[in-house]
Structure 1
């Protein structure tokens, strides 16, 4: 295909695709302070992984969704904050439009920790209303499912994502993450210890236990100070390889087939048995 990004296709190309398939990946991003990396880092990472998944399973990608719940990083004035409730409502409208257009298999992709607060609720409410199962994949959680640890390579995969999308030069060189801190993990940890809310976060999934803000923007992510194009390229190459290994290990053709089977199971097994009293089911 010429491109797998929906917005870069012509309408005729989309029509032709829908004549043979119905899969679309929706990377849900965030715009927030991210050390010495651009504010859209975790949006770009979700988009790059979604693109690789789409190529592996003959799907399309609906991108350009960078403004959702950021959380405690709003202390950085580059961060854009969207409420969880508003983000859910917006995604719900998108999901219903996609379903009406013919995209019955929808896979929502995130790499931002608190994103589950927005996406999980939408996915469940959408299913109750439409009876169409759509899938949410938190990438760090998905990596755990195939015994891959992306945390240790998070800088690599984030920088590699810019390379996947042809945007590697957007990753700056010789730009520290703040005027006083450059890749200082201890400083980041000491700042986190200033926040009593961090002692409560262990009682639920991250950002879901208690409302809290970072002590200062640099507490969110200690990133390496990239000094040369060669150093940046080395991180990117390592990250691209890790993304490739993740997508291969996940086996996206099998995942989208399971999603199709879940849809059939709902229609042919559950609705005939219990449809009369399930939520939003017409009497």
Structure 2
């Protein structure tokens, strides 16, 4: 296959793919202040994961979705903030379009912590509307589960970021800098007791006071240091994807659809069953 990234494909190539498979992975990103890394860091991490995941399960990747709810980084002048509600509606429209095109097994992924507030409601509403189970995978959670032996410190997170840029052919977009490498306490740390009362950024509204709040990043003084980080991070990322067992995930999605269809036969009042009947 010439490429697995859908926007880079010819329409005829997509049609050929859909003759034998129906998997698309959709990385949901952000453009937000990110210490000494580019604003689209968490978009690129998600896209790099998506590409390796698609390669593992014969899927395609829909890139180009960087503008969603950023959260506490809205105080950054470079951050593009979209409301949770707007993000849900936009992503839902994309999901419906992909289903009409023939992509029945849709997997939404993100390395951005607050992305669950956009993605999880969308996938549940989509099932009620269509009867088709689509999936959201929280990559930060998956990394914690699957790569504990590799993810030993925040330096590993920084390495993954640089490795993702390398996978996407953008390594030189990572600047050489030491300006953001000093470890420091977040200005909002006195309120961590409130922030911990719900999942990640979903507890209460706040914004960071300083660019270094999100986040101090490792020193990258020269190109050799950047390359070492990239190689180490790519290895961690690819190990995590291998441990995900994507062929199993997509096969389970197919089996779950069969299970749901059986449930609907005996529970015709379910929203998904009702909407199928109406359509």
Fold in common (TM above 0.5):
yes
Map 1:12-23 to 2 at 5 A.
12-23=12-23
Map 1:253-264 to 2 at 5 A.
253-264=247-258
Counterpart residue number, 2:52: 52
> CA separation in 2, counterparts of 1:17 and 1:121?
29
DSSP 3-state at the match of 1:68:
coil
Counterpart residue number, 1:266: 260
Q: TM-score, normalised by structure 1?
A: 0.93
> CA separation in 1, counterparts of 2:107 and 2:123?
10
From 150, 167, 172, the equivalent of 1:169 is 172
The count of aligned residue pairs is 273
Deviates more, 1:83-92 or 1:209-218: 209-218
Deviation at 1:220, TM superposition (A): 1.1
Counterpart residue number, 1:158: 161
> CA separation in 2, counterparts of 1:273 and 1:147?
41
Map 1:239-258 to 2 at 5 A.
239-258=233-252
Distance change >3 Å, CA 147–CA 236, structure 1 → 2: closer
Q: Kindly indicate whether the alpha-carbon contact (under 8 Å) linking 2:129 and 2:271 is maintained by their aligned counterparts in 1.
A: no
Counterpart residue number, 1:97: 97
Map 1:6-45 to 2 at 5 A.
6-45=6-45
DSSP 3-state at the match of 1:24:
strand
Deviation at 1:190, TM superposition (A): 4.6
Counterpart residue number, 2:118: 118
Distance change >3 Å, CA 13–CA 222, structure 1 → 2: same
Deviation at 1:175, TM superposition (A): 6.4
Counterpart residue number, 1:275: 268
Deviation at 1:217, TM superposition (A): 2.0
Counterpart residue number, 1:63: 63
> CA separation in 1, counterparts of 2:270 and 2:171?
52
Which consecutive residues of structure 1, in runs of 5 or more, have no partner in the other structure?
A: 177-181
DSSP 3-state at the match of 1:158:
helix
Deviation at 1:277, TM superposition (A): 4.1
Distance change >3 Å, CA 64–CA 277, structure 1 → 2: closer
> CA separation in 1, counterparts of 2:214 and 2:125?
31
Counterpart residue number, 1:183: 181
Deviation at 1:172, TM superposition (A): 0.7
Distance change >3 Å, CA 277–CA 262, structure 1 → 2: closer
Deviation at 1:174, TM superposition (A): 2.8
> CA separation in 1, counterparts of 2:198 and 2:265?
36
Deviation at 1:106, TM superposition (A): 0.3
Cα RMSD of the aligned pairs, angstroms, is: 1.5
Q: Kindly indicate whether the alpha-carbon contact (under 8 Å) linking 2:147 and 2:236 is maintained by their aligned counterparts in 1.
A: no
Distance change >3 Å, CA 219–CA 277, structure 1 → 2: closer
> CA separation in 2, counterparts of 1:232 and 1:145?
27
DSSP 3-state at the match of 2:107:
strand
Which consecutive residues of structure 2, in runs of 5 or more, have no partner in the other structure?
A: none
Map 1:198-213 to 2 at 5 A.
198-213=192-207
Deviation at 1:183, TM superposition (A): 1.4
